[in-house]
A and B are shown apart, each in its own frame.
Chain A
Amino acid sequence: MNLKLKIWRQKGPKDNGKMVDYPISDISPDMSFLEMIDVLNDQLVEKGDEPVAFDHDCREGICGSCSMYINGEPHGPGRGITTCQLHMRSFNDGDTIHIEPWRAAPFPIIKDLVTDRSAFDRIIQAGGYISVNSGSPVDANAIPINKQNSDEAFDAATCIGCGACVAACKNASAMLFTSAKVSHLSLLPQGEVEAQKRVLAMVNQMDEEGFGNCTNTGACEVECPKGISLEHIARMNRQFLGAAISHSPEKGGGGGE
């Protein structure tokens, strides 16, 4: 197939970027989207041009590196997939494909399609853990965990931290990401102990990073490659309100609309 690519090119964090046109031909429908970019990049290198920088690593939909806004949607058309799982057979010969980086103030662009998502790391550092040291924990079966809670915790824990939720949200909100971790840990007896402190700290960090507010449009859930549910946002809101009232006088804000 032959395609017309329109790709965001930006030399560095402080440079101005622009959309640049790249025609590309002889693309096999069996290629993955990233393999199509590989072909383009090899052509660019052979011409002596700089290849398009983009984040990618595992190429099987689990590391969360790849992050392209393709034809107006994070990870392109198709549901429940990351960009690396998108195949060229989803497009038609002659299509124009727009490719942009995630756009959000807390995700500054490093180069071309590569953004800095360390804001997500800092949200986890604020409280996305259970305070236990390595060494001698109790036997794994000492505390039985209700299967339903355990399964739901797992569903939340499948978040790959790709940032598609932020990219899709018209407010660049990180509520789905943050709530997935809050929800995962608070559903387990081990994590329930510090649930109040956690939700306040993580929401506070999320706001400090400059993510927008949740207006419950649901775009994040639709675009999430792992299908993480809005239910987790509701749970976080509930816990945040509860904690804000009963745990501490500090003003969190941003927990809801």
Chain B
Amino acid sequence: MSEFREKTSIVDARIPEGPLANKWVDHKNHVRLVSPGNKRRIDVIIVGTGLAGASAAASLAEMGYNVKAFCFQDSPRRAHSIAAQGGINAAKNYQNDGDSTYRLFYDTIKGGDYRSREANVYRLAEVSASIIDQCVAQGVPFARDYGGLLDNRSFGGVQVSRTFYARGQTGQQLLLGAYSAMSRMIAKGGIKMYNRHEMLDVVLVDGKARGIIARDLNTGVIERHSAHAVVLASGGYGNVFFLSTNAMGSNVTAAWKAHKKGALFANPCFTQIHPTCIPVSGDHQSKLTLMSESLRNDGRIWVPKKKDDPRKPVDIPEDERDYYLERRYPAFGNLVPRDVASRAAKERCDAGYGVGASKMAVYLDFSDAIKRMGEDVVAAKYGNLFQMYEKITDENPYKTPMRIYPAVHYTMGGLWVDYNLMSNVEGLFVLGEANFSDHGANRLGASALMQGLADGYFVLPYTIGDYLADDIRTGPIPTNSSEFDAAEKEVKDRLHKLMNNGGTKPVDYYHKKLGKIMWEQCGMSRNAEGLREAIVEINAIREDFWKNVRIPGSADQFNQELEKAGRVADFIELGALMCQDALDRNESCGGHFREEYQTPEGEALRDDDNYAYVAAWEYQGAGVPAILHKEELHYENIKMVQRSYK
């Protein structure tokens, strides 16, 4: 039983009836349509222009809807999807290794530690192949072999090669594809693009999402924008930890404002910590850099057997090294999934065996690989990554082992959506990383890009019509209603409060403080006591923030401190909810590891009898515990088993 207030109503995901493999096709065949003539009379707002937002904007505009797209960056091309390195999964079976929709579906459910929705994940696997077709048609230059056909690599511990890639820049190429599709529709007038605009509230009229309040970041002008539906594709909230691999601007604000207006926030505590990142080098650090997961194919991870060993890594003899992943997981060795590898590194460092100046790092060693394959082959495979590492750390990975440490990378949690990707607020759709998504408690490598594009190109364009079919006679939504007045006033009051509180501390001071608590208490491992403390501390930070933050300049100009302040204010509230969710979930699953719930060997211990549900939280006010809504997860096609990598 949850210690938090619970609604008896179980959230209905409105999953279509019928056998798993037919659900999506049947659903598509029966959803209502909006005729081409009527689409012209319907406006859709899309917030965020990453893979999900850009692909949705382009697709809806092509269909004839009037799209208004918003991004806080100076161009939609800079959304953080651009930084994804590894690749995108698709069940194409081009390599003839027995891949299929079912296998991709199964791997994703299992990888997510049985905390995602069967029907959604199956649909994701089903449309995955079309994504590749679409992207190639747009001119995305995926890697090819000499026969001119597409190449694949294997990724993230699955047993088939289904990952399509464009060197180490797959996210960039996919995003530029979606961006170009969007640009085409901007030129044709189908999309009105609002660069450097930040959504600061969603406006509900008669309980339906009918618009947003946005701030023009160049001028500070607060604007009203109306539409028949609002689509949030605003990304994940990893920056709640201050240090993460997310971009500096990545934020939860759009999703959080929707949450405050009634949208349920699901599984907020499910965060993915990526095991191979460049470690923190000092207090000045502003962000963390990911090193591709592919490095673990040939690199060996170890720490010295002796605590605080002062020797250089190359001087430590073989028998005094602890290859702890190979020791603990002989079957998978260095290739265990991300969550397992991350926790194991933390365990060694916490026990005092960490390396480097901070002692919060482990070695990733290529000396064996260089001996086995030769430096040339290693350079051909990983040269650009080694170069990136050397640029940042000034150390040569060919000569001395890399130092790595886990870092926050992706958030599986997000706004709750039904099968149609609509939140519990009517007309408010949520796509990509911003929704609570298809990844359960842990995401597999190369699946984020797949989900973002699936939502935008192949799911929303069909499902949104079912909702908008009711709006063909509504006409334009006026922006002079009392609802818009109230929302705008709320936004302006809040900005006024931030600008005029007479404080003394920069925004980063609070962000760093919040991040430290989140990382320590709600990071790679959590326990009830720590989480309870964290909630108290976070509430104290919130109060201090609103009293003592200082923002120079004014609100009616370009003001980056003000932008940051608004985002951090929302992160603070989110942080408390994440801790609450982590405290509620008395089990360990995927990225969520509760120290009280582990096997004697220290592995995650799931509790399917009591926690096979999506925890969807209803906002009750800052500092007030949210109310829990449960969506029970039913597995009709897959048997739930304990993951083992031994």
Is there any pair of Cβ atoms, one from A and one from B, under 8 angstroms apart in the complex? yes
Report which A residues bind B (CB closer than 8 A). Answer: 11-12, 28, 30-32, 34-35, 38-39, 41-42, 44-46, 48-51, 53, 55-60, 62-65, 81, 85, 87, 89, 110-111, 114, 116-118, 120-121, 124-126, 128-141, 144-147, 150-151, 153-154, 157-158, 160-161, 184-185, 188, 190-191
- Which listed residue, A138, A147, A158, touches B133 by the CB 8 Å rule? A138
Per-residue 0/1 for B64-89: is the Cβ within 8 Å of any A Cβ (1 yes, 0 no)? 00000000011111101011000000
Complex: A51 Cα to B195 Cα, angstroms: 22
CB-defined contacts of A59 to chain B, threshold 8 Å: 247-248, 286-287, 289
Contact size range, B: 35 or more
CB-defined contacts of A147 to chain B, threshold 8 Å: 144-146, 148
- Which listed residue, B133, B147, B173, B180, touches A130 by the CB 8 Å rule? B180
- CB under 8 Å from chain A, chain B span 112-157: 130, 132-139, 141-150
Given contacts A50-B552, A110-B558, whether A58 and B80 have CB atoms under 8 Å apart is: yes
- CB under 8 Å from chain A, chain B span 148-188: 148-150, 166-167, 169, 172-173, 176, 179-181, 183-184, 186-187
CB-defined contacts of A53 to chain B, threshold 8 Å: 558, 560
- Which listed residue, B139, B461, B558, touches A191 by the CB 8 Å rule? B139
Q: How far is the CB of B79 from chain A (nearest CB, A)?
A: 8
Q: In the complex, are the beta carbons of A42 and B506 less than 8 A apart?
A: yes
CB-defined contacts of A85 to chain B, threshold 8 Å: 391-392
Q: In the complex, are the beta carbons of A118 and B74 less than 8 A apart?
A: yes
Report which B residues bind A (CB closer than 8 A). Answer: 55, 58-59, 62, 73-78, 80, 82-83, 92, 94, 130, 132-139, 141-150, 166-167, 169, 172-173, 176, 179-181, 183-184, 186-187, 193, 195, 218, 245, 247-249, 281-282, 284-287, 289-290, 391-392, 394, 457-458, 461, 504-506, 508-509, 550-553, 557-558, 560-561
Complex: A41 Cα to B136 Cα, angstroms: 44
Q: How far is the CB of B417 from chain A (nearest CB, A)?
A: 20
Complex: A135 Cα to B456 Cα, angstroms: 11
Given contacts A48-B550, A141-B94, whether A57 and B394 have CB atoms under 8 Å apart is: no
Q: In the complex, are the beta carbons of A185 and B145 less than 8 A apart?
A: no
Q: Is chain A's binding surface mostly helix, strand, loop or mixed?
A: loop
Q: In the complex, are the beta carbons of A154 and B167 less than 8 A apart?
A: yes
Complex: A32 Cα to B287 Cα, angstroms: 10
* A–B pairs, 29, beta carbons within 8 Å: A28-B284, A30-B394, A42-B506, A45-B551, A53-B558, A58-B80, A60-B83, A63-B73, A64-B78, A85-B392, A111-B557, A116-B74, A125-B183, A129-B139, A129-B180, A130-B138, A134-B58, A134-B59, A140-B92, A140-B136, A144-B144, A144-B147, A146-B148, A153-B139, A154-B141, A160-B172, A161-B78, A185-B139, A190-B137
Q: In the complex, are the beta carbons of A144 and B149 less than 8 A apart?
A: yes
Instruction: Determine which residue in B55, B73, B74, B391 has the highest number of CB atoms from chain A within 10 A of its CB, and name it.
Output: B74
Q: In the complex, are the beta carbons of A138 and B77 less than 8 A apart?
A: no
Given contacts A51-B560, A121-B183, A150-B144, whether A65 and B78 have CB atoms under 8 Å apart is: yes
Q: How far is the CB of B317 from chain A (nearest CB, A)?
A: 29
